Structure 1
Amino acid sequence: MIKEQVYRKCLDILNARIDKYKGELEIIKESIENNDKASSDEEGGGTTDFTSAQNKVVQYLEEANQMKDQLKQVDIFQTNEVVKIGSIIETSMGNFFLSIPLGKIELDGKMFFAISKEAPVGQLLLDKQVGDTVTFNNNNFTIKVIH
């Protein structure tokens, strides 16, 4: 089932991001601890840069976890006559997975764009059916298949 494969690929990408951010946080924490030890004999301290980096990574980690939670809410086992969240939409201009804003995903040489319903293209595709045409950025594309 193509939807399940694309869904799993999205989940794999998010899990890899989460692991990466967790690893970065560990490195930053170690750097802060090492910096604190080194600067304990000196005036001041240089942890501001590390703290700023830590805050950014924490934010990225939270966003990735939120996207993962949103993805878990997507029902990929539904079948629809119209485009809904969880649909794979094959069009004359590309393939879309209406789910979360993850971007371009390659699966077995085929490209998909994981988009949210809030994305401009997502809004245009929502509730459309096979044969409908939508226009985005002066490009017309027709829905060929809805999975």
Structure 2
Amino acid sequence: MKPKITQHYSNFLQSKIDSLRQMIADLTEDAKNDAKGSAGDKHETALSMMHLEQEKLNQKLKEVMETKSIFDSIDFEKKLAKVTTGSLVLANDIYFLISVSLPKVELDQRTIFAISPQAPLAQMLMGCVVGDQISLNNVAYKIQSIS
């Protein structure tokens, strides 16, 4: 299950990067085309708006690339008895991948949350072993497995 989950999240991040790059390329192309046939204040405003949007997309791209870099640097192959970064923890029939914060997914009718090691739940899970129980926000989590 763990390789399937890590592959899903890696593909998700790469897809996001590709999508952002395409949006930036499209904006650049639109700006070039707009520059050929327009003049005046409306034209300048449109170019300014495109430039601002491009800056936002570039910032978002940088953030997603940093997240992917961190995700790719995690050793998901290591097998430890205790929860650590890179662990896939099953608790209350919910999977928690201790890696980077990413959206919840459903795979094979299982719920998976990718959470950052800095997240409160991850902080409480760190160092725990199978059978341990923790409580966060009045919810008790019993660790069923660690991989």
Per-residue CA deviations over 1:38-57 (Å, capped at 9, x if unaligned) read 33x32461212111111111
The Cα shift of 1:35 comes to: 2.5
The Cα shift of 1:12 comes to: 0.6
Q: In 1, Cα distance between the equivalents of 2:24 and 2:90?
A: 39
Could you tell me which runs of 5 or more consecutive residues in structure 2 were left unpaired when the two chains were aligned: none
Instruction: Give the number of equivalent residue pairs.
Output: 145
Q: Report if the CA contact (8 A) 2:81-2:146 is conserved.
A: yes
| Partner in structure 2 of residue 91 of structure 1 | 91
What TM-score results when the alignment is normalised by the length of structure 2? Answer: 0.91
Could you tell me which runs of 5 or more consecutive residues in structure 1 were left unpaired when the two chains were aligned: none
Runs of 4+ in 1 over 6 A off after TM superposition: none
| Partner in structure 1 of residue 78 of structure 2 | 78
What TM-score results when the alignment is normalised by the length of structure 1? Answer: 0.91
Q: Report if the CA contact (8 A) 1:28-1:50 is conserved.
A: yes
Q: Which amino acid aligns with 2:85?
A: I
The Cα shift of 1:36 comes to: 2.2
Q: In 2, Cα distance between the equivalents of 1:142 and 1:104?
A: 20
| Partner in structure 2 of residue 64 of structure 1 | 64
Q: In 2, Cα distance between the equivalents of 1:4 and 1:36?
A: 48
Q: In 2, Cα distance between the equivalents of 1:91 and 1:34?
A: 54
Per-residue CA deviations over 1:71-119 (Å, capped at 9, x if unaligned) read 1111111111110111100001621000111121222221110111011
